[in-house]
Amino acid sequence: MADFTNGWLGILLGLVIAISIFGCGILLWSQSKMKVKVGADGKPLPVETTGHVWDGDLRENNNPLPGWWMKLFYGTIIFSVAYLLLYGGFGSYNGLLGWSQESEYKAELQAGNEQYGPLFQKYMAMDIQTVAKDAQAMEIGERLFLNTCAQCHGSDAQGVKGYPNLTDTDWLYGGDPQTIMTTLQEGRSGFMPPMADAVGSADDVLNLSHYVLSLSDTAHDAGKAQLGKAKFGACSSCHGEDGKGMQAMGAPNLADKIWLYGGNVESIIEGVNKGRKNLMPAYKGIIDDDKLHILAAYVWSLSNSPANSAQTTTKQ
């Protein structure tokens, strides 16, 4: 509770909690005053009812609460007060023990660093390609990938629509070890503005889409592609005159058969009309560099295995 930005909020919450506990105690005390009534002969008198009657003769008795239940309830009140005094909970009060989730997390993190720090430092001293050949490092890298990257790129790293496949040899910004490390540390922000106004009419956008498909020899209308070729000038400043992209800008290669959003006319028209925007977060400061070093080695290994070095995976 120490993260309140306004001190009065902590005080208010502390008062609400204290009043609630006190109210529970008063309620329990009031109920404990009810006793079983006995007659002169020492036998219990008939139990009073609440006045509620169902089905003619089914009455709700007003029995006192069992003694064991009352003691158990008092015990829970005492336990809650002791717990809040020791661990905090009365608003911004931190408790006699000074415990918090943040301190617990930092303690566990420090213990982990002390235990595994030397191992990470050993790999940090190696270049990324060498780390990628170490089986233990790749096991660590796989766990880092599943915790950090799989939410977008998939547990198999083959991506989905809008998220790149990391197991092929096609890279928006480059697939060398240092570039991958830079991507992990600094993140990437890809942006393609809507280009329909620069291209022309709806027919021009359609023809351009067929021309883009023709660059990779994907099924297209040759006549429309020929008409759309002249309109590609609006795209060449990023994708290049030959459509093979520019890694310095993160502009995709349009001359292969790897598509981030789909290799069909409809997807290309949508991209031209609406633009595209992708963001990969930066992990520097969130994940230590020695762990990012291993993660970069793992990602690099995905596209540099013998199976992937001979061919590029097609993404439709």
pLDDT digits (tens, 9 = 90+) for 179-193: 999 999 999 999 999
CA angle 174, 179, 180 (to 5 degrees): 95
Q: What percent of the chain has pLDDT over 90?
A: 66
Helices (H), 154-192: 177-186
Distance CA 183, CA 140 (A): 19
Distance CA 77, CA 130 (A): 60
Q: Which CATH class is domain 127-187+281-309?
A: mainly alpha
Domain boundaries, the chain: 7-87, 127-187+281-309, 193-279
The DSSP annotation for 233-280 comes to HHHHHHH-TTS--BTTTTBPPSSSS--SS-SSHHHHHHHHHH-EEEEE
Distance CA 17, CA 129 (A): 57
| pLDDT score of 36 more than 80 | no
Establish how many alpha carbons lie within 13 A of residue 225's alpha carbon, considering only the half-sphere containing its beta carbon.
14
Q: In this structure, are residues 261 and 270 in contact, taking their beta carbons and an 8 Å threshold?
A: yes
Distance CA 40, CA 204 (A): 106
Could you please state the CATH topology (level 3) that the domain comprising 193-279 is classified under. Cytochrome Bc1 Complex; Chain D, domain 2 (1.10.760)
Give the pTM.
Answer: 0.69
| pLDDT score of 314 more than 50 | no
Rounded to the nearest angstrom, the gap between the alpha carbon of residue 251 and the centroid of all alpha carbons in its chain is 27
pLDDT digits (tens, 9 = 90+) for 144-176: 999 999 999 999 999 999 999 999 999 999 999
pLDDT score at 312: 43
| pLDDT score of 66 more than 50 | yes
C-alpha distances (whole Å) from 45 to each of 36, 48, 262 are 8, 9, 84
